[in-house]
A and B are shown apart, each in its own frame.
Chain A
Amino acid sequence: DAKTTQPNSMESNEEEPVHLPCNHSTISGTDYIHWYRQLPSQGPEYVIHGLTSNVNNRMASLAIAEDRKSSTLILHRATLRDAAVYYCILRDVGGSNYKLTFGKGTLLTVNP
């Protein structure tokens, strides 16, 4: 699996937008970019995924660079419930490997 690089931690204020970056300079053409988040003492939950175009859903937006070597997860208005570890994961759909490879992620702290 191609590797991703994320900052160890970020801080935000409540009701402000948050931009969580992810670098993946060795991404291949068949790698989808997935984001999951993990609240304290819980299992991870899916946030969003994309291939080339920017994506929006009810939880977040995903902005993908034109060369696909980086992406940004955008939380439009952070709430205290968004405090979690956010994982950026590349998933190769060109093969048969079903696993998700989790790194250490970014710990997001949201200040009231």
Chain B
Amino acid sequence: DGGITQSPKYLFRKEGQNVTLSCEQNLNHDAMYWYRQDPGQGLRLIYYSQIVNDFQKGDIAEGYSVSREKKESFPLTVTSAQKNPTAFYLCASSYRSLYNEQFFGPGTRLTVL
């Protein structure tokens, strides 16, 4: 089955700790994205990558970092510099064309205690 996997589904961390969220896709998509969603709100773009070894900041990149060493993988690190990290994090992928839909993973709910 083709799709996007995110792990874990729920994650708890202590304040001040860095945490890395996993995102893997086997859809052969070039582009991958990370979004953040707060309760009752829409999604906001954190980072996106159009090709391997290249990525761009989205609207709310401060306190986050990413890497894109493989086409299939786009991990997101939430650093201690992120002031309010508790949120629902969604990874997506698509073909590079702007006409194409984005496919989303099931999300990771991060709670920082």
- Residue numbers of A with Cβ under 8 A of B are 32, 34, 41-46, 49, 87, 91-93, 96-105
Contacts and interface: CB of A to CB of B under 8 A. Distances in A.
A28 B94 CA distance: 23
Contact of B101 (A46, A99, A103): A46
Interface residues of B, number: 28
B84 to A, nearest CB: 19
A104 to B, nearest CB: 5
B34 to A, nearest CB: 11
B58 A99 contact: yes
Contacts of B17: none
Contact of A49 (B4, B50, B101, B107): B101
Given A34-B101, A42-B107, A91-B98, A102 B42 contact: yes
B45 A44 contact: no
